[in-house]
Amino acid sequence: MKLIIKPEKGFGRIEVELDSELAGEINRLSERYGVPVERVIEITLTGEFKEPLRDLDELEEKARELEKRVWELEGEYAPLRFKAYGLSEDNKVLAIELSGLVAENSQLRRFLRLKLERDLELRKLISYYLQG
């Protein structure tokens, strides 16, 4: 990798050939932190390193503990989510059956020439369970 440093003003420029190991490390840092290669080199040359406020090992251990706790909670939550999904599907089936019965009831009322009853609350409820 060839590194060319140009001043903001003037004609002076520096060319440096970086070995493949150093270039690879710069590329890995660039990918890891999501910054351009030029910015990694700039930070390296100017010494703009940020010192961590705490011990990184301590923070990594805490992150591992939190991740373990998340998986424990996911293990407890998964069966509840499965049951909720089953109940939701049961509600959809019941809403479909109820919708069919309401339609049949309307047809019978028409056949018997009775007054049609439009129960908007019931239709909203059926619509809610069919969507969910």
The mean pLDDT of the chain is 87
CA distance 123 to 68: 46
Token duo for residue 58:
């301590």
Is residue 51 assigned to a domain?
Answer: no
CA distance 1 to 126: 67
In this structure, the answer to whether residues 120 and 66 fall within a common structural domain is: yes
Look at residue 14 and tell me whether its pLDDT is greater than 70.
yes
**Three-class SS state of 6:** coil
pLDDT higher at 19 or 70: 70
- pTM value is 0.48
In this structure, the answer to whether residues 34 and 60 fall within a common structural domain is: no
Residue 38 CB neighbours (<10 A): 11
In this structure, the answer to whether residues 93 and 35 fall within a common structural domain is: no
Look at residue 1 and tell me whether its pLDDT is greater than 80.
no
pLDDT given at position 52: 66
Q: Where in the sequence is the domain holding 93, given as residue range(s)?
A: 56-131
CB 76 within 8 A of CB 70: no
Could you read off the pLDDT of 53-93 as tens digits, one per residue? 677 788 889 999 999 999 999 999 999 999 999 999 999 99
- Helix 20-33 to helix 37-46 angle, to the nearest 10 degrees? 110
CA distance 100 to 31: 58
Token duo for residue 59:
């923070």
Number of domains in the chain: 2
Could you read off the pLDDT of 45-60 as tens digits, one per residue? 777 767 766 777 888 8
